[in-house]
Chain A
Amino acid sequence: MSFSDFGITNLAKNCNETLILAILFEGKKHGYQLALEIENKSEGYFKFNHGTLYPILHKLEKDGFIKGTWKQEGPKRKRKYYTLTTAGKIYGQAQLAHWLKFFNYFLDIAGELKQ
């Protein structure tokens, strides 16, 4: 992914993707757990609406970055758990590198406001 792909218009999407991939790095999680952990870890700074979560999860799954598996939990209950794939780990690390670059440049420029 070039920096142009990681442009301003994709920031929100990339941010959500990176957060999800980072949480999944710890192990398999389902949608509710993902949203909850992101909220808890950011002390409520990142508020995840589930409505926005599903398209991201399904897109990542379709692209092969995460894998969804259904698990039976009780006689009438099924849950979809997501795990990070090898491609997902590589993609997540690439995303992180882009974010670091982004913040470096951003702070370089926006840091001027400090003075």
Chain B
Amino acid sequence: MNRFLSFLKKINNKLDLPQTTKSKIILEMAADLNDLYNYYLGEGLSEKEAIQKAHEKIDVSDEALKQLIEIHQTGFKIFLQSLSEKVVNRWERAMMALVVFMIVVISTWIISSSQFFKQASPFVWPILCFAFITVIIALTKFYHLYIKKDHNMKTLSAGMTFIFILGGLSLFVGMFGYFFEIYLSGGYTILPAVSLFINLFTLTSTANVMTDITDSLLRSSSVGMVGLLMTIFIGLIWFILMNKIWKIEQAECEFLLAE
């Protein structure tokens, strides 16, 4: 297909889309170009003429490219692409490594303390469960992508959407748990403002009320913190694996085009 390489590269440069999407469009065009080329060769044209005719036939106008960009460019895709392309220089990589390191250290420090388990909100458990499932999937993906390297393009991205959903669920449960715990504490202490006022200024029950408020704040902050940390953790796993998948897809495309 290298006879069409410059033509395809031109289209590739004109398409302002994520590289994976561009690669798929280019691959489709490359296959059609090759068929057209063979067709014109069969018609008795010389190699040079067949290439020329194939180029003419597949001529992709700027208007057609614009339409392709409009079709494929969604807000979500722009966001995903910007995520992957921003970590390019070593400072950005160092910052990312620092964030990962801090998340691991803080998470381990918080979760490993026995005090945390005593005070944690019940909402923490599903979040930890999501993180555990993510780790299992990520280890399997890591094994296939980095060690076994049996890159099947059909199953390359399998499980990635699920990891993304788990990240979203962690955030949702974390935030829901956080506000729910606050709401609960409010129900007992804060919402009935008069009773709170009475309680706070009644010597007999002030200590109990203060303990309740402290406990509820600890519970809500624990679930909020774990929710955010695990979302970042799952997000980073997703990001690292997706970057690898994008690289494999791009390498596959370059390999096919360089045939």
Which chain A residues border B154 with CB–CB below 8 Å? 70
The minimal Cβ–Cβ distance linking B76 to chain A, given in whole angstroms, is 13
Chain A residue nearest to B154 in the complex (CB): A70
Interface secondary structure of A, over-half rule: helix
Is the pair B58, A80 in contact by a Cβ cutoff of 8 Å?
no
Inter-subunit contact B60/A51 (CB<8 Å): yes
> What sequence of 0s and 1s flags, for each residue 71-87 of chain B, a beta carbon within 8 Å of any chain A beta carbon?
11000000000000000
Complex-state Cα separation, A75 to B58, whole angstroms? 24
Interface of B is mostly: helix
Contact B259 A76 (CB under 8 A): yes
Q: Which residues of A contact B58 (CB under 8 A)?
A: 49-51
CA distance A49 to B27 in the complex (A): 17
A54/B31 in contact, CB under 8 A: no
Q: Determine if A58 and B71 form an interchain contact, defined as CB atoms under 8 angstroms apart.
A: yes
Check if A78 sits within 8 Å of B71, measured CB to CB: no
Chain B: interface residue total (CB-CB under 8 A): 26
- The answer to whether B259 and A58 touch across the interface, beta carbons within 8 angstroms, is no
Offer 25 A-B interface pairs, CB within 8 angstroms, sorted by A. Answer: A32-B32, A32-B36, A36-B39, A49-B57, A49-B58, A50-B29, A50-B36, A50-B57, A50-B59, A50-B60, A51-B60, A54-B28, A54-B64, A55-B67, A55-B68, A58-B68, A58-B71, A76-B256, A76-B259, A77-B259, A78-B27, A78-B31, A79-B31, A80-B24, A80-B27
